[in-house]
């Protein structure tokens, strides 16, 4: 994407965004609120962008961004809160329960450790807001934008297979996991319907995300061939196998949708921009889904873009770029290290790790302040360092 200079005397501030998915749409709405003119385009139709069978875990850092963009109240009816989070290690037969009382003061009043939301509800709301905004021009089914406007910034938010990133000649460091991800919705018999679970098994982590009543989104990480084998099982045999993965007090009753397998990979772009062209979201990074960090990391990209890249052309621009790079790379790298370790090391039943994990579970279960810091870093990543910590 060729960077274009502003026309002399033009006071309008214009941004171009490739990708009208969740990341691109939220970024467009953020700039719109700041009075910036936005053109956003996507090769897919609005219906294709809407019809994805995915569920997201939303944490407090994402909640704060959605509040900043005046979207939280509109999305709240579709948000399913979970009040507790159970972290289970099947190899050690140990578990730790995170509660709302483990949240710091600024998050405590929401009475939720996090929320889940279906992709369709989130994307539908964002699409409606894009249409309402008078300073956002949206183009679907477009390979390139049909406009002659000269743009101050270009943002590539067109996903992990970003065409824009290739045009900018930005390379990525990639790692393909031996694990794949098997996802499906199911009805479970559980003692607590507002509890999420992160279960560490030898094959990889497994998440149970509450979707209201007894419905849960189940995300299983395991070797690719095992996921495909499970996917091809008959209905009853599949339920029998999944039952062996679940904690003793949880039973599976029925499937709601067809299980699907997705390969897993990690990627990190070697740079986040070329001149005024920036990468955000999965165009810049993709991570293992353990802990539900993927979308939340993308939303922290948006938060830093909106707060650090100011719509002006003064001498502080260069400093803003440096600060943006520093904040984003540190956050992305630490999140990659943590999720990669959880996916490839913590799940394994390694003898030399056994005592370390036992001590970790003991400390987490005994000390409230450790659980507070753990939840804070789970929700804000490295940005937790910039949040005033007040013990209750």
pLDDT of residue 11: 53
Helices (H), 56-152: 60-68, 72-75, 105-108, 119-132
Per-residue pLDDT of 165-196, as tens digits, reads 999 999 999 999 989 999 999 999 999 999 99
The verdict on residue 2 lying in a domain is no
Full residue range of the structural domain in which residue 317 is found: 14-79+119-173+265-386
- Angle (deg, nearest 10), helices 317-341 and 294-308: 170
Count the domains in the chain: 1
The verdict on residue 236 lying in a domain is no
Residue 213: its H or E element: none
- Please check whether residue 70 is in contact with residue 49, taking contact to mean a CB–CB distance below 8 angstroms: no
Per-residue pLDDT of 67-110, as tens digits, reads 999 999 999 999 999 999 999 998 888 899 999 999 988 888 99
- Please check whether residue 300 is in contact with residue 61, taking contact to mean a CB–CB distance below 8 angstroms: yes
3 state SS of 286: strand
The verdict on residue 242 lying in a domain is no
Region 27-40 average pLDDT? 94
Q: pLDDT category, 7, cuts 50, 70, 90?
A: very low
The verdict on residue 99 lying in a domain is no
Q: At residue 290, what are phi and psi to the nearest 5 degrees? A: -55, 135
The domain that holds 32 is classified in CATH as 3.50.50.60
Region 141-150 average pLDDT? 76
The verdict on residue 370 lying in a domain is yes
Going from the C-alpha of 238 to that of each of 173, 223, 242, 248, 343, the distances in angstroms are 36, 17, 6, 18, 24
In three-state form (DSSP H/G/I as H, E/B as E, the rest C), the secondary structure along 15-32 is EEEECCCHHHHHHHHHHH
Supply 367's token pair.
């000390």
Supply 351's token pair.
């003898």
Query: How far is C-alpha 317 from the chain's CA centre?
Result: 28
């Amino acid at each position: 994407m060729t960077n274009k200079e502003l026309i002399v005397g033009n006071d309008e501030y214009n941004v171009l965004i490739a990708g009208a998915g969740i990341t691109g749409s939220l970024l467009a709405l953020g700039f719109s609120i700041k009075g910036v003119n936005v053109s956003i385009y996507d090769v897919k139709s609005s219906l294709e962008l809407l019809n994805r069978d995915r569920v997201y875990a939303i944490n407090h850092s994402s909640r704060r961004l959605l509040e900043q963009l005046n979207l939280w109240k509109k999305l709240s009816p579709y948000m399913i809160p979970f009040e507790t989070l159970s972290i289970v290690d099947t190899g050690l037969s140990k578990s730790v329960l995170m509660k709302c009382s483990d949240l710091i003061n600024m998050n405590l009043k929401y009475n939720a450790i996090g929320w889940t939301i279906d992709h369709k509800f989130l994307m539908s709301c964002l699409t409606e807001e894009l249409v309402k905004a008078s300073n956002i021009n949206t183009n679907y089914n477009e390979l390139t934008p049909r406009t002659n406007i000269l743009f101050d910034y270009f943002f590539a938010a067109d996903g992990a297979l970003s065409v824009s990133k290739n045009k900018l000649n930005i390379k990525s460091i990639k790692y393909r996991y031996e694990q794949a991800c098997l996802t499906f919705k199911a009805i479970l018999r559980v003692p607590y319907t507002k509890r999420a679970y992160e279960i560490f098994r030898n094959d990889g982590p497994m998440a149970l995300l509450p979707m209201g009543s007894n419905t849960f989104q189940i995300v299983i990480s395991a070797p690719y061939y095992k996921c495909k084998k499970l996917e091809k099982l008959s209905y009853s045999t599949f339920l029998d196998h999944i039952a062996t993965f679940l904690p003793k007090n949880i039973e599976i009753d029925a499937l709601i949708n067809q299980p699907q397998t997705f390969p897993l990979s990690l990627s990190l772009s070697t740079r986040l921009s070329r001149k005024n062209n920036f990468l955000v979201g999965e165009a810049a990074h993709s991570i293992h889904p353990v802990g539900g960090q993927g979308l939340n990391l993308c939303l922290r990209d948006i938060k830093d873009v909106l707060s650090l890249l100011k719509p002006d052309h003064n001498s502080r621009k260069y400093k803003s770029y440096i600060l943006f790079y520093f904040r984003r790379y540190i956050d992305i790298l630490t999140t990659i290290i943590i999720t990669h370790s959880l996916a490839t090391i913590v799940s394994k039943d390694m003898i030399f790790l056994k005592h370390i994990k036992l001590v970790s579970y003991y400390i987490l279960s005994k000390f409230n302040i450790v659980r507070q810091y753990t939840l804070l870093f789970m929700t804000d990543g490295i940005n937790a360092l910039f949040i005033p910590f007040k013990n209750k």
